[in-house]
Structure 1
Amino acid sequence: MESIQRIFYTSDQVKLITDAYRHVFGPIGGELREYWDLDRKREWGCLTSDFQVATFDQYEQASKLAMQVEATIFDPVQRGHALREVTRQTKVGLSLGPCPWTDHGLFQTYEQNKGKGRLTIILGHDWYPIVPARAKTPHPVDVPLSRYAGLRGLIKYINVGAVPASIMDKSEMLIFLNFKPDFRPPNSPTVGPFEPYARCSEGFNALVDAVSRNFKVQVISWGANVWELLRKQVADLQKPLGICVHARSPEGFGRPLELICGKRTIPYLPLAHPCDRRNFNEQHAAHAKEGFLKMGLGGTGKVSPL
């Protein structure tokens, strides 16, 4: 099997990221702890690490063990269960914080923006399967210390207009999250039914409350699945329209909404998922651009030349 080339975070970089998490999220309360499943009560809630207490040695041990699993176990279901066992053995998840894209986004945008008092959450639906179903080449396993390209590597999504300019030029602090923070089960497809657990909304509201203690927060969501759940929390929403119909309506086009998260109300821009150009077409890109401008995010981002 061909070896997988990875770039790893150094101990100093891990300290920067975990210190950033501690500043951004503050103490982890019970609802947020349950949301991230830091006590490993859900079957595949083994992605997020408790960055308040995790050490570099734990991340390093989990990384080594995860790569050993990758090199020696090839059945996808067995590999998935072995990776889950790594997280129970080492007491960290398979990322430094909520997920690898959160790690990388904060790594790239925290230091220069930490004093601005604001941040933007880009919210997806859920993370990939812990071992995705693949016909030929296995997908690389998640490794806590592995430095992924993250959101900035999604050239397809950037090119269709789904990422704000200030995220691309790193002038806005980015927190990339998924509404459901767990893995999908091993050997399952990366697309298909979205099945959030019962208290996902309460957990996300607790997350917004935690982040809002030190920062002015706004949210951009990707996909109909998340919109259909969050629109129940939108203030003064006249009709529960589908995401694309809402974006085309005079009330919805380019207009950030008010999302009620417990006792907090924050700006919210719902978008179709950028993976499908039938939904995220030119008209929808115009909706996104206008919304980004109104949120102070500089319109649509572009891929920087190498």
Structure 2
Amino acid sequence: MTLNQQQYSSDQVTQILHAYRSIFPTITADLENYWGLQRERPWSYVTTNFHSATFEKLQALQERAWEIDNLSLTQEARGIALRDAALKMDVGYSIGISPWTDNLLARTYSDSKDSVVILLGHDWYPIVTGDSPSGTPLKSSDSLHTVERYWPGAPEAVMDGTTVGLFINLYPDYRPPGDSKCGNLNKYGYSYEECLIGLDALVAAVLKRFSQVHLISWGANVWRALLKRLPEFRNSTTLLSAAVQASPGKVLRIELGGRELQYLPLMHPGHWGNFGQACHLRHVKAGYAALRLGLPGLDNSKVKRVRKAREIVIV
């Protein structure tokens, strides 16, 4: 799919909805709860029920979000107005799971492909962040591919569409209006343990569609949340010392969705002070190679950190 414009067309929305419906032909009770589709959690409005969504509903919410942005509202009032609009239109601020998920499926999904890489991030931004424009469900430029500094956190096979890429945030909801963009989420009343139940349900569904499923996680918060599934590292203090310095490039095994997956934990690519350490870049490059997913990012990038990640020598 060519994605040169700033907004998805009706045909592109149809293709993205088809991808979601093919991977998740039914939304189980655990998935419905995980994605907050009953809207019982205060800010569970990133997601959309892609089995009932239509282009017209998504377009109506987008237009209403633009109108709300032009009102003189406090951050809290703007967040509430955006939430009320999503309730009224019966869709959220993505076509399915999140804007990055939408875009990556648009670029990589095909019915003929039988392998998928799950990129597991931590969470989405607050529903309102200062004076920035609100997220809108049809905004096609909200994507991994438009944020080159994150490219080292994704292997070439995902970036070029050789394999399907499924971007997932462990915590599926927005943060409250005006909240910080980083840090753990223990204060929001939806625990990491509950998130893991949802992640299990998601992976179980993905395993029914694809015969080869790999997991790549971003950041220390996700690593700590997954430690319960990694008894050999349970007493480790940091990702860098536990899974990187001890054995660079080692692919771990983790049980999710009732099966063992190959799992490569990474530091968060947005925090280059950690991600860009030489020992970690060797871990990234060697790990992608072990999974047969190519080099970090894309060869056409001129961003220094992408070049460094691709060119580092594995000792």
Please tell me the residue identity of whatever aligns with 2:104: G
TM-superposed deviation, 1:277: 2.4
TM-score normalised to structure 1 length = 0.90
1:54–1:291 Cα change, 3 Å: same
**Alignment pair present for 1:110 and 2:101:** no
Aligned to 1:246: 242
TM-superposed deviation, 1:56: 1.4
Query: 1:124-273 alignment to 2 at 5 Å?
Result: 124-132=121-129, 134=130, 138-158=131-151, 161-195=152-186, 197-198=190-191, 199-215=194-210, 216-234=212-230, 236-237=232-233, 239-250=235-246, 252-273=247-268
TM-superposed deviation, 1:236: 4.7
8 Å contact 1:168–1:303 — kept in the other structure? no
Aligned to 1:3: none
Unaligned 5+ segments in structure 1 are 1-5
Once the two structures are superposed, residues 26-82 of structure 1 have per-residue CA deviations (whole angstroms, 9 ceiling, x without a partner) of 211000100000010000001100001111111111111111111124321111010
Please tell me the residue identity of whatever aligns with 1:223: G
1:73–1:26 Cα change, 3 Å: farther
Unaligned 5+ segments in structure 2 are 303-315
Q: Secondary structure at the match of 2:153?
A: coil
Aligned to 1:32: 31
RMSD over equivalenced CA pairs, Å: 1.8
What CA distance in whole angstroms lies between the structure 2 residues aligned with 1:115 and 1:82? 41
Aligned length: 292
The percent of aligned pairs where both chains have the same amino acid is 37
Q: Secondary structure at the match of 1:212?
A: helix
What CA distance in whole angstroms lies between the structure 1 residues aligned with 2:272 and 2:58? 38
TM-superposed deviation, 1:241: 4.1
TM-superposed deviation, 1:303: 5.4
Please tell me the residue identity of whatever aligns with 2:122: H
TM-superposed deviation, 1:247: 3.2
